[in-house]
């Protein structure tokens, strides 16, 4: 299968927002943002900026024509600050000029007198002060207290995981163009067409039918373009007020400094096992570093909250989740959406309790893997569990016992270098945890020449969702994929679309497309039966671009069939809607069925640690992952490889530094993401064979996010190597950077990393 998008990417022919020819008279917008983490705005003087050369207008909150609000879940985030600021980088004013350079110069002329107020940057401190977004969530299953009392082995600990910068190739940007009758068309790099469409209309104070949001593709998103609408709404507001096209494009360091990240977490945990090594009880408190506004943090916390049991049976559990309100830019979605953070804590707890027991952690994990019939902490009974199948397949390929023995022997005979390994199982629930978002639409048009266009709410951001939808449409209609074009995501064709996230893009939009194509297929089959004089439409099939009666190919090609159907006034257009069935969740009881199915996998990671320098290399990664029946093997393999590498980056390299005043200190020159040189020499991906999934389109499984969890193996493999040198210190926080490994190896025990 040829991927047309990939071919255009390598040729530099793909069109992104900044490639759209700038309309005549287009202006450029730049935001003036808060220089302090928390403060009261005593005065704001924009007169010098407004009078600067090339400046057309400077807007503050007083100029917002509609609702001055872009809060995604809670209405707590003004587009432009009113009388207070809550984080460095919060928008206060919008400068619009003839050129971006003129706007940037003018921004420096704005004078803001802001009284500095005490700010909070630590999530634990925020929690102690009651600074939360929404309410504390608590899930209890079984009787954890009684279970801990009878446990043979109990371990308690504290952990932390750090933030991660999305570092998409295409920074935040949008181009807004006013049109007749007070309408507005916006080209944006955004993952949530329905939500952003609504935000634009609200801020402009106009009905949604006067706003058209068009998204061809993104130069990467990873969740960073799902919720924060500031950079799309601001140029739309300026274009609406000035009745001229306006473009806003963030520079790279500006993007890093002002946008949200993967949520950092602090954890308190306690785990208890019986004498045989079975998990009896687990207790964990999640302190989510949410930032100044709720943004999408409550939903991310919900995902972490529901995945703290990882891939293991845990009959007695207590989970507490806290959205901690701090004075940094509001954090947002990132690939995995809280699941990596939730999985990290149970994996770390398993490592520590295995040490206490003197038992190999690999054997301990295998003993506690989920099986068919197990019930998750929120009451969902599992079926079609492939956790053990993935584990056994990996074991067949790698021989875990042999690898473990070889590493132990290596570490016994080497002092300057040590090896480490980790086996990480994955259990990842697929669906939006917010049930209402599990819906999608598709519009399929067959043209008289036999070509087909498909419009859905899915946003292509390099994950191959358009390729999968193209293949689904072609397969369902019985034609070649080259006849199908997946159009841009447009709110005038597909309204109220859910975000392309939670690994549901192909699942839901693909199912809607399949439903629409099945309706067209049935319609054309009935017409073909009539056209060929056949009494039974069931005898007719369309495949390989021909019409068959039974197994005999008729003298009627796809093109002839479509042309004849059009001439006979057969409707060649179909809209279909899909809502994922049987989903429900009660936040009051923390019980329900929030996910349609689960994605499973197991990975083996091996590292080599230099005990003198603290550096390490990732020697090998082997992954077995369950994708159901793959829709496109090339896309699925690429998604697994990319997700694993991105997960490895979060676990080992990627570190954001904040100053004592809450300022992001890390720029593009200091932020390290894994490159091809960092990837292991051995990187093997196996798609679990003979897997079926009746809960998703064409028996497939979602693939965008679940493999990210395998990246945790790099952290735990490095930790394994470190513990073989010294086990007298608390494990380092995630990411386990080379600097941290060096300090772990060489600092006195009294110094915690």
> Model confidence over 294-349: pLDDT tens digits?
999 999 999 999 999 999 999 999 999 999 999 999 999 999 999 999 999 999 99
Distance between start and end Cα atoms, the chain? 49
Query: Between the CA atoms of 732, 735, 737 and 741, what dihedral angle is there, to the nearest 10 degrees?
Result: 20
Cα three-residue angle 666-660-70, rounded to 5 degrees: 70
Confidence of residue 2 (pLDDT cuts 50, 70, 90): low
Treating both helix axes as pointing N-terminal to C-terminal, what angle do 505-531 and 558-567 enclose, rounded to 10 degrees?
70
pLDDT average, residue stretch 34-54: 98
What's the maximum distance between 2 C-alpha atoms anywhere in the chain? 89
Q: Report yes or no: 316 and 338 within 8 Å, Cβ to Cβ.
A: no
CB neighbours of residue 275 within 10 Å: 9
| Strands in 431-550 per DSSP E | 439-446, 452-456, 484-486, 489-490, 540-543, 546-549
Q: Report yes or no: 258 and 246 within 8 Å, Cβ to Cβ.
A: no
pLDDT average, residue stretch 412-419: 97
Query: Phi and psi of 448, rounded to 5°?
Result: -65, -20
**Does pTM surpass 0.85?**
yes
Question: Given this model, what pLDDT does residue 753 score?
Answer: 46
Residues 6+ apart with CB under 8 A from 737: 652, 653, 655
Confidence of residue 702 (pLDDT cuts 50, 70, 90): very high
| pLDDT exceeds cutoff 80 at 666 | yes
> What's the token pair of residue 246?
């306006």
- Active site residues per annotation: 705
Segment 235-250, tens digit of pLDDT: 999 999 999 999 999 9
| pLDDT exceeds cutoff 80 at 290 | yes
Segment 512-560, tens digit of pLDDT: 999 999 999 999 999 999 999 988 999 999 999 999 999 999 999 999 9
pLDDT average, residue stretch 160-185: 97
| Structural domains for the chain | 25-118+167-258 (3.90.1170.50), 265-433+588-746 (3.30.365.10), 439-579 (3.30.365.10)
Confidence of residue 288 (pLDDT cuts 50, 70, 90): very high
Question: Given this model, what pLDDT does residue 539 score?
Answer: 94
Confidence of residue 124 (pLDDT cuts 50, 70, 90): very high
Quick one: which of 223, 251, 163, 199 has its CA closest to 79?
199
| pLDDT exceeds cutoff 90 at 1 | no
Quick one: which of 611, 617, 531, 606 has its CA closest to 566?
531
Q: In what order do the strands lie in the sheet with 137-141?
A: 137-141, 316-325, 279-291, 265-273, 153-161
């Amino acid at each position: 299968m040829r991927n047309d998008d990939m071919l255009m990417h390598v040729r530099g022919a793909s069109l992104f927002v900044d490639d759209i020819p700038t309309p005549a008279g287009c202006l450029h917008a730049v935001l003036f943002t808060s220089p302090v983490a928390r403060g009261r705005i005593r005065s704001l003087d924009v007169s010098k900026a407004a009078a600067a050369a090339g400046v057309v207008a400077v807007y503050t909150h007083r100029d917002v024509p509609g609702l001055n609000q872009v809060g995604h879940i809670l209405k707590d985030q003004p587009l432009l600050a009113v009388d207070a600021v809550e984080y460095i980088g919060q928008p206060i004013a919008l400068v619009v000029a003839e050129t971006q350079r003129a706007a940037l110069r003018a921004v420096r002329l704005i004078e803001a007198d802001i009284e500095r107020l005490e700010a909070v940057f630590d999530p634990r401190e925020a929690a102690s002060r009651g600074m939360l977004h929404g309410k504390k969530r608590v899930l209890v299953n079984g009787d954890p207290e009684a279970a801990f009392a009878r446990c043979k082995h109990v371990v308690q600990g504290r952990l932390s995981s750090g933030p991660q910068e999305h570092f998409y190739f295409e920074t935040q940007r949008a181009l807004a163009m006013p049109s007749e009758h007070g309408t507005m068309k916006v080209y944006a790099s955004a993952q949530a067409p329905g939500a952003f469409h609504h935000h634009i209309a609200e801020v402009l104070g106009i009905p949604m039918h006067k706003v058209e949001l068009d998204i061809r593709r993104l130069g990467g998103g990873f969740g960073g373009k799902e919720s924060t609408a500031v950079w799309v709404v601001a140029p739309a507001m300026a274009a609406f007020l000035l009745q001229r096209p306006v473009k806003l494009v963030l520079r790279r360091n500006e993007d890093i400094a002002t946008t949200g990240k993967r949520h950092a977490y602090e954890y308190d945990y306690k785990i208890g096992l019986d004498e045989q090594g079975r998990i009896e009880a687990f207790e964990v408190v999640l302190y989510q570093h949410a930032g100044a506004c709720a943004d999408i943090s409550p939903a991310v916390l919900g995902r972490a909250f529901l995945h703290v049991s990882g891939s293991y049976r845990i009959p007695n559990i207590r989970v507490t989740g806290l959205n901690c309100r701090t004075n940094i830019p509001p954090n947002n979605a990132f690939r995995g959406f809280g699941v990596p953070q939730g999985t990290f804590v149970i994996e770390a707890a398993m490592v520590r309790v295995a040490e206490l027991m003197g038992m190999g952690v690999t054997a301990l994990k295998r003993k506690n893997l989920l099986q068919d019939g197990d019930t998750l902490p929120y009451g969902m009974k599992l079926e079609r569990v492939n956790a053990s199948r993935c584990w056994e397949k990996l074991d067949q390929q790698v021989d875990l016992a042999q690898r473990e023995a070889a590493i132990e022997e290596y570490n016994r005979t080497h002092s300057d270098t040590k090896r480490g390994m980790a086996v990480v199982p994955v259990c990842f629930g697929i669906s939006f945890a917010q049930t209402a978002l599990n819906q999608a639409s598709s519009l399929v048009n067959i043209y008289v020449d036999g070509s087909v266009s498909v419009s859905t709410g899915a946003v292509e951001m390099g994950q191959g969702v358009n390729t999968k939808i193209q293949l689904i449409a072609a397969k369902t209609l019985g034609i070649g994929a080259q006849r199908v074009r997946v159009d841009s995501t447009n709110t005038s064709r597909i309204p109220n679309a859910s975000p392309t996230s939670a690994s549901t893009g192909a699942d839901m939009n693909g199912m809607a497309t399949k439903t629409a194509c099945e309706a067209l297929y049935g319609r054309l089959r009935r017409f073909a039966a009539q056209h060929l004089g056949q009494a039974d439409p069931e005898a007719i099939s369309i495949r390989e671009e021909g019409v068959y009666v039974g197994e005999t190919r008729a003298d009627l090609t796809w093109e002839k069939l479509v042309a004849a159907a059009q001439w006979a006034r057969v409707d060649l257009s179909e809209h279909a809607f899909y809502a994922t069935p049987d989903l429900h969740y009660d936040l009051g009881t923390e019980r329900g069925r929030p996910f349609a199915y689960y994605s499973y996998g197991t990975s083996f990671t091996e590292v080599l640690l230099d005990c003198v320098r603290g550096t390490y290399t990732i020697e090998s990664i082997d992954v077995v992952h369950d994708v159901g029946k793959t829709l496109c093997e090339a896309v699925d393999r690429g998604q697994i490889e990319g997700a694993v590498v991105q997960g490895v980056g979060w676990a080992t390299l990627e570190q954001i530094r904040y100053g004592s005043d809450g300022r992001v200190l890390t720029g593009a020159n200091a932020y390290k993401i894994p490159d091809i040189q960092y990837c292991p020499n051995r990187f093997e991906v196996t798609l679990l064979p003979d897997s079926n999934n009746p809960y998703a389109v064409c028996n497939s499984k979602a693939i965008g996010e679940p493999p990210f969890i395998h990246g945790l193996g790099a952290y735990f493999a490095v930790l394994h190597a470190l513990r073989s040198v010294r086990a007298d210190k608390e494990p380092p926080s995630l990411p386990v950077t080379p600097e941290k490994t060096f300090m772990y190896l060489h600092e006195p025990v009294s110094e915690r990393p």
